[in-house]
A and B are shown apart, each in its own frame.
Chain A
Amino acid sequence: MSVTEPELLDLIAQEAIIDREKLQRDATLGDLGISSLDVITMLFELEERYGVVIEEADMPKMETLGEMVDFLMQRINEQPAKS
């Protein structure tokens, strides 16, 4: 099951409780106030919706929202489609 960038941004806005319009690619995670608990909550929802298991510890160090979105989209969309 694949995810589009707008779908992923909707999920981030919902799980990290951030206004959707503030989610610009060059915004830093620190400026957006995305905490570690926000990230693991997001990963939990990604597993629920897309069946992809991503551990927080496996995520590379990232500064911007764009980097995180690219990483998450790659991991979700490389999964074999579920039958």
Chain B
Amino acid sequence: MSGPRRIAVTGFGAVSGLGADAAETWDAVRQGRSGIALRAFEGGQYAPEPVTFPAALAADGFQGRLEAAMGRKISAGLDRFALFALCAAYEALDQAGLVGDPVLAERTAVVLGHGQGGQESLEKGYERFFGMKSQRMHPAMVPKVMVSGGVSAVAMQFGVHGPVFATSSACASSAHAIVQGAGLIQSGLAEVAVVGGSEAIATPGSMAGWQAIHALAETTCRPFSQGRDGMVMGEGGAVLVLEDMDRARARGAPILGEYLGAGMTSDAFHITQPSLEGTSAAIRQACAAGDLLSQEEVLVSAHGTGTPLNDENEAAALNAVFAGSAARRPVIATKSAHGHLIGGSAALQTVIALQALRAGQAPPVQNFLEPDPACVVDVVVGQARPITARHALLNAFAFGGLNVSMAFAAAA
């Protein structure tokens, strides 16, 4: 009897405040460049006065490469969150050499995670309803707002007829999507899975909501540092092409890394506070799936939001799981560069972690001031650090206590 199917990563794509593709994103994080800047959020004539927050927003024109290749028939009708997903999916499928391949129609799944869906379209629609008191809403509002708008756009653009659905678990949404996509391959329901996620909730109404729970930093994102005061909102998306390893090798596809397995837990505890037990259990499961504790070095891409609570809990969880392991574990926290993409974060961090393993460099945590005695982990600061790790651990811990940890390996 053979073991479970091995899962190769054969393509990836990314859009964020750091750039319009995966290579630009990697260059920026490796060099310690940030996409975070102070932004004014202006909600229009029915809104209160604009507020200013640090945020990492994607530059205009990020969809240029997609639209030059595929036209605008599908992309032009999308909310920003779905457009991020579609752009990243095109880059990933193009890299995998699968655009136009018959496998897309026959044996492919699309699973993308989003915390919220078409927030910009919702706010514009509600401005008409509650502000202008108009009963007539834009006819595209519902399809733009629905959280499955992204996966439907990817399926329509590339002709995917297999299992297609969205996952939603706040900040862990795209991590759940990656695990579900891998599972569809391992269960035989698909041979290829287009997985990842995106988010575009840096909108005036949404930012006021995030302000209300005191989650947003007033200065910038400083994961694991003393003086950290919260997360910074980002936006964008990232997509990976997962593929049955034997199939990928047989067709000579680029092997960019391997998905080894994951842990998924629920704290069942509090809607915003993390739990040491829940997060540790997810990390422990992922470490077992990827045999991480016996490695000499493991690159840890932390959830690392820069909130006081998350980083202290995450450091404790990592130390609890790795107690007794001799593995060096350099910790990176790239939300300090691209902000928090909520549903898109885990996928973007996966794209970055796989490039870090390939380059043998751990990108620095930015904006770090001083070590925090409450977060005793080996934080990579200053500049990119040379690493020999062939394995990565990646955490995504969501509001509501929904935890996913994933284990990846560099391409053999």
A18: which B residues are within 8 A, CB to CB?
Answer: 73
B142 to chain A, nearest CB (A): 10
Say whether A37 faces chain B, with CB atoms less than 8 Å apart. yes
Contact B138 A17 (CB under 8 A): no
Assess the A44–B139 pair: CB atoms within 8 A: yes
B40 within 8 A of A: no
Closest-CB distance, B128 to chain A (whole angstroms) = 10
Tell me if A51 counts as interface (CB < 8 A to partner B).
Answer: no
The answer on a CB contact under 8 Å between B136 and A17 is no
Contacts of A41 in B (CB 8 A): 138-140
Q: Is B47 an interface residue (CB 8 A)?
A: no
CB contact between A17 and one of B77, B139, B143 (< 8 Å): that residue: B77
Q: CB of A10 within 8 A of chain B?
A: no
Q: How far is the CB of B71 from chain A (nearest CB, A)?
A: 8
Q: Mark B206-241, 1 if CB is under 8 A from A, else 0.
A: 000000000000000000000000000000000000
Closest chain B residue to A33, Cβ basis:
B73
Q: In the complex, which residues of chain A have a beta carbon less than 8 angstroms from the beta carbon of B139?
A: 37, 40-41, 44
Check: A70 CB closer than 8 A to any chain B CB. no
A44's contact among B72, B77, B138, B143, by CB below 8 Å, is which?
B138
A63 interfacial by beta-carbon distance below 8 Å: no
Distance of B219 from chain A, by nearest CB (Å): 41
A18 to B76, CA, bound (A): 10
Contact residue range for chain B? under 10
The B49-75 residues at the A interface (CB cut-off 8 A) are: 72-73
Complex CA gap A37/B74 in Å reads 13
Q: Once bound together, how far apart are the Cα atoms of A33 and B74, in whole Å? A: 12
A47 within 8 Å of B by Cβ?
yes
List residues 4-38 of chain A with CB under 8 A from any CB of chain B: 17-18, 33, 37
Tell me the complex Cα distance, A11–B73, Å.
Answer: 15
Q: Is the CB of A47 within 8 A of B136?
A: yes
A37 near B140 with CB under 8 A, answer yes
* Contact B73–A17 (Cβ < 8 Å): yes
Q: How far is the CB of A37 from chain B (nearest CB, A)?
A: 6
Most chain A beta-carbon neighbours within 10 Å: one of B72, B77, B143: B77
Mark each residue of chain B from 76 to 105: 1 if its CB lies under 8 Å from any CB of chain A, else 0.
110000000000000000000000000000
CB of B159 to closest CB in A, whole Å: 15
Interface string of B142-157 (1 = CB under 8 A from A): 0100000000000000
In the complex formed, the residue of B with least CB distance to A14 is: B76
The residue on B at minimum CB distance from A53 is: B136
User: What separation, in Å, do the CA atoms of A41 and B140 have in the docked complex?
Assistant: 7
Minimum distance in angstroms from B35 CB to a CB of chain A = 30
Complex Cα distance, B76 from A41, in Å, reads 13
B73 cross-chain contacts in A, Cβ below 8 A: 17-18, 33
In the complex, what's the smallest C-beta–C-beta distance from B164 to chain A, in angstroms?
Answer: 20
> For the complex, what is the distance from the CA of A33 to the CA of B73, rounded to whole Å?
10
Inside 8 A of B136's CB, which chain A residues have their CB?
A: 44, 47
In the assembled complex, which residues on chain B have CB atoms less than 8 Å from the CB atom of A37? 139-140, 143
A33 to B77, CA, bound (A): 14
Bound form: Cα–Cα A41–B136 in Å: 11
Nearest Cβ in chain A — how far from B135, in angstroms? 12
Specify which chain B residues have a CB less than 8 angstroms from the CB of A47 in the assembled complex: 136
Chain A nearest CB, measured from B300 CB (Å): 44
Alpha-carbon distance A41/B73, docked complex (angstroms): 14
| Cross-chain pairs A/B with CB under 8 angstroms, 16 sampled | A17-B72, A17-B73, A17-B76, A17-B77, A18-B73, A33-B73, A37-B139, A37-B143, A40-B139, A41-B138, A41-B139, A41-B140, A44-B136, A44-B138, A44-B139, A47-B136
Seen from chain B, the residues whose Cβ lies within 8 Å of a Cβ on chain A are: 72-73, 76-77, 136, 138-140, 143
Known: A17-B77, A44-B138. 15 other contacts (CB 8 A): A17-B72, A17-B73, A17-B76, A18-B73, A33-B73, A37-B139, A37-B140, A37-B143, A40-B139, A41-B138, A41-B139, A41-B140, A44-B136, A44-B139, A47-B136
Residues of A participating in the B interface, judged by any CB pair closer than 8 Å: 17-18, 33, 37, 40-41, 44, 47
Closest 9 CB pairs of A and B: A40-B139, A17-B76, A17-B73, A41-B139, A17-B72, A44-B139, A44-B138, A41-B140, A37-B139
